[in-house]
Amino acid sequence: MRSAMLVGQKVLRRPDEPDLRGFAVLSGSAPLIADIGANGGQSAVALSFIVPDARIVSFEPNPVLWRELAFVQRLIGPRFERRQLGLGSQAARMQLHIPTVGGLPITTRASLTPDGAREQAARLEADTGRQVDITAVEVSVETFDSLGLTPTGIKVDVEGYEYEVLSGMVRTLRDARPLVMLECNARDSECLALLEPLGYRRAWFDRARGCLVAVRPAGAGNWYAVPDEMAEQILNG
């Protein structure tokens, strides 16, 4: 079923997350986009048509999703690369906490932090009215700075672990100056406090206008960190 959804998404050019369309400003520059927290590859598929000349490297530590990402590899082709790896502030072996309902892993809610997993479990219990258990698997985590990549765009969706991911890519942010998209959550202020001294400012994708803007539109679920030197060129309003 997931495979059919991904094929339909690619054929119809409908991203599962509309805010990813903000990366379209990178088109034409043969960009490298890092997809951190790839899950089943839905963001990678969306990026493949939003930025059709981009190479995409997806990072996903959850072994349950590796088969789905292999399908995405076939769907996108040679400009897609997948790495079974988590990213954080330091290299480590860590526990990935996965909420499960009735034995079914809810992979979109997995977190490298126990607190993040408990928060997701509470939300799932409220949404489903069913008991949610948490299982854990050991995964490898590295810093982004250690990988030798020079991305022009980075998507980060790691269920509350965004600050740690950013902490492990400070050199990349300073030197490569990528455009970054992060999921809105309770740690936004921490992330912004790390990014602002590096010369980044906050922006959002305005779905109605189809562009990045400096003022948050209603319903925004993600935000962008825009390098100061790009801001005047790509921000509207």
Whole-number pLDDT of residue 1 = 67
Q: Is residue 130 part of a domain?
A: no
Q: What CATH number has the domain bearing residue 64?
A: 3.40.50.150
Q: Is residue 68 part of a domain?
A: yes
pTM of the full predicted structure?
0.91
Average pLDDT over residues 203-222: 94
Nearest to 181 by CA among 40, 46, 5, 76: 46
Give the integer Cα–Cα distance in Å for 29 and 26: 6
Q: Is residue 58 part of a domain?
A: yes
In the predicted structure, residue 237 carries a pLDDT above the cut 70: no
Question: How confident is the model over 112-158, as pLDDT tens digits?
Answer: 888 877 888 888 888 888 998 898 889 999 999 999 999 999 999 99
Whole-angstrom Cα Rg for the chain: 17
Q: Is residue 104 part of a domain?
A: no
Average pLDDT over residues 12-26: 94
154, 34 in Cβ contact below 8 A? yes
Q: Is residue 219 part of a domain?
A: yes
Q: Is residue 82 part of a domain?
A: yes
Domain count for the chain: 1
CA dihedral 170, 235, 50, 5 (to 10 degrees): 90
Average pLDDT over residues 182-207: 96
In the predicted structure, residue 236 carries a pLDDT above the cut 80: no
DSSP code of residue 203: E
Q: Is residue 121 part of a domain?
A: no
Whole-number pLDDT of residue 115 = 81
Percentages (nearest 5) of helix, strand, coil residues in the chain: 40, 25, 30
Q: Is residue 43 part of a domain?
A: yes
Q: Mean pLDDT score of the chain, rounded to an integer?
A: 93
Question: How confident is the model over 160-178, as pLDDT tens digits?
Answer: 899 999 999 999 999 999 9
Q: Which domain holds residue 154?
A: 2-88+140-234
CA 56 to chain centroid: 12
